[in-house]
Amino acid sequence: MRLRYRFMIPAIMAAAAVNGQAPALHLDNYTIPKGKSGAVIGQVFTPQGPAAGVKLVEDTSGLFMIGKKGEVKLKKKKSISEASAVQYAVMLELGGQKETFIFVKDDFARNKIVAHRGAWKHTAGSQNSITSLREAARLGCEGTEFDVWLSKDGIPVLSHDPHIGGKVVEETPLADLTTIELKNGDRVPTFEEYLEDGMKQNVTRLVLELKPSKTGRSEQLAQACYDLIRKHKSQAWMLYISFDYNICKKLVALDPHAKVAYLNGDKTPAQLKADGIWGFDYNSKVIDKDMNIFQDAKKNKVTVNIWTVNDPVQMETYLKAGTDYLTTDEPEIALEKVKK
pLDDT band at 190 (very low <50, low <70, confident <90, very high): very high
| Least confident among 16-20, 63-67, 246-250, 316-320 | 16-20
For the chain, percent of residues with pLDDT exceeding 70: 94
Residue 10: pLDDT above 70? no
Q: How far apart are CA 69 and CA 143, in angstroms?
A: 32
84 and 123, same domain (yes or no): no
Cβ neighbours, 10 Å, residue 251: 27
Whole-number Cα distances in Å, 50 to 26, 42, 87, 91: 10, 11, 24, 17
Q: How far apart are CA 216 and CA 224, in angstroms?
A: 14
- DSSP for 269-294, please give it: HHHHHHTT--EEEEEHHHHHH-TTHH
Whole-number Cα distances in Å, 118 to 60, 115, 205, 222, 240: 35, 5, 11, 21, 15
Kindly report the CATH number assigned to the domain that includes residue 161: 3.20.20.190
Q: Which of 105, 121, 149 is a domain's end point? A: 105
Query: Is 1 a member of any domain?
Result: no
Residue 244: pLDDT above 90? yes
Q: Is 12 helix (H, G, I), strand (E, B) or coil?
A: helix
Kindly report the CATH number assigned to the domain that includes residue 18: 2.60.40.60
DSSP count for the chain of H helices, then E strands? 10, 21
| Tens-digit pLDDT profile for residues 271-283 | 999 999 999 999 9
Residue 20: pLDDT above 80? no
Q: Which of 247, 283, 278 is nearest to 265 (CA)?
A: 283
309 and 215, same domain (yes or no): yes
Structural domain count, the chain = 2
In terms of phi and psi (left: phi > 0; alpha: psi -120 to 50; beta: otherwise), the region of 301 is left
Domain span at 139: 113-339
| Tens-digit pLDDT profile for residues 123-145 | 989 999 999 999 999 999 999 99
279 touches 319 (CB < 8 A): no
Amino acid occupying residue 73: K
Give 265's contacts (C-beta < 8 A, 6+ positions apart). Answer: 280, 282, 283, 286
pLDDT band at 4 (very low <50, low <70, confident <90, very high): very low
Burial per residue of 225-234, b for 16 or more beta-carbon CB atoms within 10 angstroms, e otherwise: bbbbbbebbb
97 and 120, same domain (yes or no): no
Query: Is 163 a member of any domain?
Result: yes
**Phi, psi (deg, nearest 5) at residue 27:** -120, 165
Query: Is 2 a member of any domain?
Result: no
99 and 215, same domain (yes or no): no
Q: Which of 89, 105, 121 is a domain's end point? A: 105
Query: Is 89 a member of any domain?
Result: yes
Residue 5: pLDDT above 60? no
119 and 75, same domain (yes or no): no
pLDDT band at 16 (very low <50, low <70, confident <90, very high): very low
Task: List the beta bridge partners of residue 17.
Answer: none
Q: Which of 105, 308, 122 is nearest to 202 (CA)?
A: 105
225 touches 210 (CB < 8 A): yes
Positive or negative: CA dihedral 312, 205, 274, 324: negative
326 touches 114 (CB < 8 A): yes
90 and 117, same domain (yes or no): no
Question: What is the Cα gyration radius of the chain?
Answer: 20
309 and 228, same domain (yes or no): yes
86 and 122, same domain (yes or no): no
Report the pLDDT value the prediction gives residue 340, as an integer from 0 to 100.
Answer: 87
pTM of the model: 0.95
63 and 93, same domain (yes or no): yes
88 and 27, same domain (yes or no): yes
220 and 333, same domain (yes or no): yes
267 touches 287 (CB < 8 A): no
| Tens-digit pLDDT profile for residues 37-91 | 999 999 999 988 999 899 999 999 999 999 999 999 999 999 999 999 999 999 9
